[in-house]
Amino acid sequence: MPVIDGLRGFAILLVLFYHVFEKSHFIFGLKAGSYHFDLHTFIQSGFLGVELFFFVSGFCLMLPYAAWMAGRRPEQTLKEYISRRFWKIVPSYYLSLLILGIYYPFNRQQQIPWSTDMLLHFSFLHAFNWPAFISINGNFWSLAVEVEFYVLFPFIVMGFARAPLITTAIVSILGLEYSAVIAQQHLDGTFIWAYQLPSYLPLFAIGGIAAWVYEKYIRGREIDEDMRLDLAGITIFGVIALGYVFEQLNQAGSGSFAWAWENAHRLEIGLILALFTLSAACAPQKIQAAIANPVLTFFSDISYNMYLWNAAIVAFIASRWVADPGWRGGVFALMALAATTLVGWVLTRFFERPLMRHRFRSPQAIVAWVRGLFSRPKKIADA
């Protein structure tokens, strides 16, 4: 879906420029004559890009099952589901973990031994250990949460296939109850509690039900121009509402105040994203093209590898570059964008995509593929 691609591209740029802001405090904005458009509201709270990623994840994971429920495709088997998730997520993550863990653990936490730290990360269990949760690469915490949801997701699908609305409500309520409990215990301002999987369940669940609504009520339906214009208005409202969310988070403060605010408002964030996604998917083509423009679509395509590497690249450049809030901050931002984009594109194009295409079924197939990379091409015999 073009709209989902645009949302994913926007999310990765938010995350990247938030890390740039952390290191440089550069004020992002656009000037056109006497007019100045300040982007700082979005950048300062750019870590909300992770919330967008989790919503998109819930949407995309449920989409094939929603299409099956609508009679548009065969049911995805558990083996197919596991294969897709493994080859999409694990190889690129392990590559970044090995390189950063050995050569540049820029966020290494000394409270935990290196071997234990690496073992927890390799097993995706680092969410259950506070030093490991944010160690090596601060972005890795979200991979643990994502994989936990992958494990839970087949059970959600079992309920969803029978009662989509009830299952969505149950999953969301479980997440809201968790958020309420840690708020009562005054733990919602603690990173390791506020950023665990249960607090994200409403986002995942709403993403899933949005996919079901799209397949059941929207995809393939004829929509007249008047209705499309109405939906364009709803899309614009969604954009304004999302901007309001960013501003409210800014007003809440930083650190523990921001974490507590996120913990209390993930349901509303999910509903706004669902409203925006479903209305934009039916809006006039010009609006859809503006959301899924070539720039955002390109960044969406390489977003996973950019996400894995952006914080490390920003930290590495910052260690060798004095990025004051002035013009040097702008140069620093461009350097980080260029370097992260290049790394993300190379790894996506030459590492992730070949693996996704082959989706090896056995260790022997992996060995054969590796040998093929280094073998000389066969000469074409003379006719």
Question: Per-residue pLDDT tens for 103-133?
Answer: 999 999 999 999 999 999 999 999 999 999 9
Q: How many domains are there within the chain?
A: 1
Q: Where are the alpha helices (DSSP H) in 25-111?
A: 40-44, 49-69, 78-103
Query: Domain for residue 383, yes or no?
Result: no
Q: What residues of the chain score a pLDDT lower than 50? A: 379-383
Query: Domain for residue 381, yes or no?
Result: no
Task: Give the span between the Cα atoms of 46 and 7, in whole angstroms.
Answer: 13
Query: Domain for residue 382, yes or no?
Result: no
Phi, psi of 276 (to 5 degrees): -65, -45
Give the per-residue pLDDT at 1. 83
Query: Domain for residue 211, yes or no?
Result: yes
Cβ neighbours for 344, distance < 8 A, ≥ 6 positions apart: 302, 303, 305, 306, 309, 310
Cβ neighbours for 372, distance < 8 A, ≥ 6 positions apart: none
Give the per-residue pLDDT at 137. 96
Query: Domain for residue 379, yes or no?
Result: no
Give the per-residue pLDDT at 381. 42
Give the per-residue pLDDT at 373. 57
Query: Domain for residue 170, yes or no?
Result: yes
Query: Domain for residue 182, yes or no?
Result: yes
Whole domain around residue 92: which residue ranges? 2-374
Query: Please, what sign has the CA dihedral across residues 149, 164, 51, 173?
Result: negative
Q: What is the pTM of this model?
A: 0.91
Give the per-residue pLDDT at 64. 95
Q: Where are the alpha helices (DSSP H) in the chain?
A: 2-24, 40-44, 49-69, 78-103, 114-122, 130-133, 141-160, 164-184, 191-194, 197-213, 225-252, 256-280, 285-291, 294-301, 303-318, 327-347, 353-358, 363-374
Report DSSP state, residue 29.
E
Percent of the chain surpassing pLDDT 90: 77
Give the per-residue pLDDT at 261. 96
Query: Domain for residue 264, yes or no?
Result: yes
Give the per-residue pLDDT at 32. 63
